[in-house]
Amino acid sequence: SLEKALHDIRLHDNSLLIWIDAICIDQRNISERNNQVKMMKRIYERALLVHIWIDVEVEIPAPVLKMLETINLGTPLELEADPKFWDPVVHLFGQRYWSRVWIHQEV
């Protein structure tokens, strides 16, 4: 939920300017949404930092998450063969978020 996301990213000792598409774009107004989508590239290019909140519970000590945290792009990676190992990531990447029109501009 947006409430959980805001709670997670808040700064305790400083102000934070944020742009939230779920609030800033009337998703039911097709004309407004189309106009806003056209501006997304510029919005994300100007962002100092982009947080993506996907409201999915993933067990933090999941071995796959620990492995992903240690990826070094310059080092060959040995992938786990057990399909169950990948279940938390499969669930995460199966969320509707990844099918959004402007996802390639955000990430």
For residue 2, what pLDDT is reported?
82
Q: Name the DSSP letter for residue 79.
A: P
| pLDDT band per the 50, 70, 90 thresholds, residue 101 | low
2: helix, strand or coil: helix
Domain boundaries, the chain: 1-53, 56-106
Token pair belonging to 52: 């993506």
CB distance 80 to 64 below 8 Å: yes
For residue 83, what pLDDT is reported?
82
Please state the rounded mean pLDDT for residues 66-92.
78
Calpha distance 25→96 (Å, rounded): 18
> Among the residues of 1-107, which ranges form H helices?
2-9, 21-24, 30-46, 63-69, 87-93, 103-106
Dump pLDDT digits (tens) for 41-68.
888 888 888 777 777 776 667 788 777 7
Check: pTM over 0.85? Answer yes or no: no
CB distance 85 to 63 below 8 Å: yes
For residue 95, what pLDDT is reported?
79
Token pair belonging to 102: 């402007």
Calpha distance 45→8 (Å, rounded): 23
